[in-house]
Each structure stands twice: as structure tokens, then as C-alpha cells.
Amino acid sequence: MTNTYHRVGNGPHPVLVLHGWFGDAHSFEEIEPWLNVHAFNYVFMDYRGYGGMQETRGAYTIDEIASDALALIDVLGFHDFSLIGHSMGGMVIERIATRAPNRVRALVAVAPVPCGGISYDATTRRLLEDAAEQLDNRKAIIDRSTGGRLPLSWVEWKAAYSVSHSSQEAFSAYFHAWADTDFSDEIVGSHPIKVLVGEHDPTFNAGLMAKTYLQRYPHATVEILENAGHYPMNETPLALVRAIESFLAETATVGHIPSSAR
């Protein structure tokens, strides 16, 4: 089985892009027209239960996504590659890097869930757990994670998108996957990583990244994206492209693959 995906660009630097809990492979469409198609070869992949894989059942775990991603990379014939992950996908790219450290060139984590998961109070956890069945919960989560500052019509669209592009079973299971998974003791930290967070994201913010990514990765840097919350691909697409590609271009120039992992 090969996960559904689509590609943007045919450049020499392969980049696998992994979506978040509320997305799918097409949730980055607003940045796609502005990507450097000559320097990079972007591959946007669906998870089981999402997008073109909506009817495909699975265990719905972080490890399963990582295994599917590596299988797709092999089908595409990429030896070494970079990774971009948004939210839940941020945890996945860390997992892939632990599984194939000598193949990963660099990581870009966008409003990411750290590899140790997230501990929520009982009320917030119930809000998140019930979001699979309750559309209003999805709206509340999206509104809260973008600082309560975006038009209601957009919040409603984003919630409806998640409902129509994921199975309820997968959406429910993936919450536990990203919130409760912890493989922090397996992080070597030798890869270059750029962490991008929105200034209006109340949870996945610079404070959290200082306690996680900056502690685990000696080569990590954190950049705050102005005028963005948890979904910079929708809120500030041009700024996100600039931040991603300036970092990836730098790693391409260096030609970095961690010496400890060669």
C-alpha cells in the first residue's frame, strides 16, 4: 500500500510535508503557488483515514505514519530528504528522524507537537477528545488556537474541512496518538531543525519550544511568525514559505547530513 500524495516541484532537494490533525495533504494549498519548484521537490502525503486515504483504516499511531512515510519515500526513490511537519505532523517528522537518521537532511517543525506529547487539564482534554463527534468543539479549538482573532466564516470553513477530509474514527484516534505519545528519550538531536510558531498560538508557542526543541536539538532555532496563530499556511502563507525555504536553502548549501548518523 502506498499512501496518497501529490507533488509540487521537480528540484534536486526532496521535501516530505506532513499535515496536522485538522488537515490533509491539500491543507497547504495556499503556499503551493509560491514554492520554489526548481530547487525543491515537495511531496504532500495523506495519513490513513485522511484525504485520499479516508477509507483506509489503520492503527492511527505516530509510528504508523512514520512507517508509511518512509515507505512512500522509498517508492519515490529518494535517498536523503528534508521534512516539514505541521502540528501533529511535527511529532511525526521527529519520529521519522529517529527511524532513519542518516537519511534526514533537515527538519522544519510548524506549530509542532513535541515528541513528548502534551498534557492537558481535564476540561481541555474533554474538549479535544469530543471534537471527533462535535463540530462546535472543532470550531472552538480552531478559534482558540488562532487567538480568537479570525473571521467566524474561516473558522467554520476550517472545521468543516476537517470533518469532510478525515474519518471520525481516525480523527478520534489521532488525538491520543499526538497527545499521549512520548519518545523523547530516543531523540539524538543531531539534525538541524527550524521551529516556526505563530505569535497568536496560545499552546504551541515559543515558551513550549524553549522547553522541548531547544533542549533536545543543539542546532535548533525558533522563529515567531507575526500575525499567525496555529495555521500559518492559511494565515500568513508568504511568510511561511520564506521561513521554510530560506532555512532549507541554507541546509542544501551546507549539504548537511549529521556526521554522527552517516
- How far apart, in whole angstroms, are the C-alpha atoms of residue 97 and residue 223? 21
**What's the predicted TM-score (pTM) here?**
0.95
State residue 45's pLDDT score.
Answer: 98
- How far apart, in whole angstroms, are the C-alpha atoms of residue 126 and residue 108? 30
Grid cell of 150 as nine digits: 479570525
State residue 120's pLDDT score.
Answer: 96
State residue 194's pLDDT score.
Answer: 98
- How far apart, in whole angstroms, are the C-alpha atoms of residue 8 and residue 165? 20
State residue 35's pLDDT score.
Answer: 98
State residue 164's pLDDT score.
Answer: 98
User: CB atoms < 10 A from the CB of 227, how many?
Assistant: 13
State residue 1's pLDDT score.
Answer: 87
Q: What is the pLDDT of residues 70-90, one digit of tens each?
A: 999 999 999 999 999 999 999
CA distances from 96 to 36, 63, 66, 148 (A): 24, 8, 5, 33
> Which residues of the chain fall below pLDDT 70?
252-262
